[in-house]
Amino acid sequence: MEAADAEEVHLRHVETDVLIPKMMREKAKGRCVQNVEAFSRCCKEAGFLMAFRCREENAALKECLTLHYKDPVFFQECRQEYVREKLEFQRTGIPAKNRKTKLPTSM
């Protein structure tokens, strides 16, 4: 599918305000993996004191994630991916998560 086709697809309010931002959060975590790991490691080491001891790691993680959340190019990338998945679901009836799993070779 071309980018122009993705732009023409009408999306519902819930898709643009909930589902695409959810996809953005998941992808942003992948792009901020070093920050996520540093924060997780700090939390494990600090235990109950994590709110005080991990402020720096938390701030760095929030900054990285926010950078991606506010990026209009990143939003458009996620929107186009969402539209491709939506159109593929409409065509096949198979959700994206089920399409990604391999079928058994012998039945």
Tens-digit pLDDT profile for residues 13-70: 999 999 999 999 999 999 999 999 999 999 999 988 988 999 999 999 999 999 999 9
Q: In the structure encoding, which two tokens stand for residue 97, read together?
A: 């998560």
Compute the distance between CA of residue 8 and CA of residue 82 in angstroms, rounded to an integer.
13
The confidence band for 4, taking pLDDT boundaries of 50, 70 and 90, is: very low
67, part of any domain: yes
Which residue range is the domain that position 19 belongs to?
Answer: 3-96
Count of domains for the chain:
1
Residue 52 sits at φ, ψ, to 5 deg, of -95, -40
Decide if pLDDT at 1 tops 70. no
47, part of any domain: yes
Burial label, 43 (beta-carbon count in 10 A; 0-12, 13-18, 19+): middle
49, part of any domain: yes
104, part of any domain: no
102, part of any domain: no
What's this model's pTM, rounded to 2 decimal places?
0.71
